[in-house]
Amino acid sequence: MRYEIVGEPMPVVICHLENGESMISERGSMVWMSDNLEMQTSGGGLGKVFGRMLSGEAMFQNVYTARQGQGMIAFASSFPGSIRAIELRRGQSIICQKSAFLAAEQGVELSVFFQKKLGAGLFGGEGFVMQRLSGEGMVFVELDGSAVEYDLQVGQRLVVDTGNLAMIDESCSIDIVSVKGVKNALFGGEGLFNTVVTGPGHVTLQTMPLSSFVGTIAPMLPQNNGN
């Protein structure tokens, strides 16, 4: 499979498949394809269906397979931002924010990931449930805004504002820390808690979480006063 990511700020990944190759995606993310691709909708078992539902994805996935020669299919981001391509190797897993999964080769598996620490789940900005991507193959994830990446060493910590954490290696750990000082917490404009990521592992941050975008434009929208 060959691919190219084009378009800003609403990117699309265009995948070129050999005969018999398949891609899996969330419902509604396919935007165009050649006419020799065959689509099948699959749940993959009751446990996987409800796991995807808990992690913020649709209960069923679409499988697109190239038939009778090479094929092409494109998947678009649902929000202005970035598409990142990750090549998963056997035994490797990454943890993503809810709804990050866009599409993948058929060897990649999407499952639910529960935060090990209750505090991180309740106050860390991503909730108690996130997504785990594992298996082997290329996977494409969509991020809000631009992506910034760091490689953390063993024990190295990164403090992240709520919602800006997009993706980490499973070798990293997540916790929360309260903002020090009552005045800082109440009037600093950064909320009461921050997320702390501890290495080792790769960390991907996003510059404009959807929640921040909504909060920015909400005061500018017309107000409905019931008239």
The DSSP-derived string for 61-107 is EEEEEE-SS-EEEEEE-SSSEEEEEEEE-TT-EEEE-TT-EEEEETT
**According to the model, what pLDDT value does residue 224 have?**
64
**According to the model, what pLDDT value does residue 210 have?**
65
Q: Residue 194 corresponds to which tokens in the numbers above?
A: 């921050």
Question: Contact at 8 Å (CB) between 190 and 163?
Answer: no
| Of the candidates 167, 187, 165, 184, the residue with the CA atom closest to the CA atom of residue 176 | 165
* Cis omega (within 30 of 0) for bond into 200: yes
**According to the model, what pLDDT value does residue 42 have?**
75
- State whether residue 220 is helix, strand or coil: helix
**According to the model, what pLDDT value does residue 162 have?**
75
**According to the model, what pLDDT value does residue 129 have?**
74
Residues of the chain with pLDDT under 70: 43-59, 115-128, 179-192, 210-221, 224-227
Element (H, E) at 131: strand 129-135
Give me the torsion for CA of 76, 95, 99, 120, rounded to 10°: -150
CA distance 94 to 168: 6
Question: Contact at 8 Å (CB) between 143 and 163?
Answer: no
Q: How many helices (H) and strands (E) does the chain have?
A: 4, 19
- For residue 40, how far is the Cα from the chain centroid? 23
2-218: CATH topology is: Double-stranded beta-helix (3.60.160)
Query: Would strands 165-169 and 201-206 be described as parallel, antiparallel, or unpaired?
Result: antiparallel
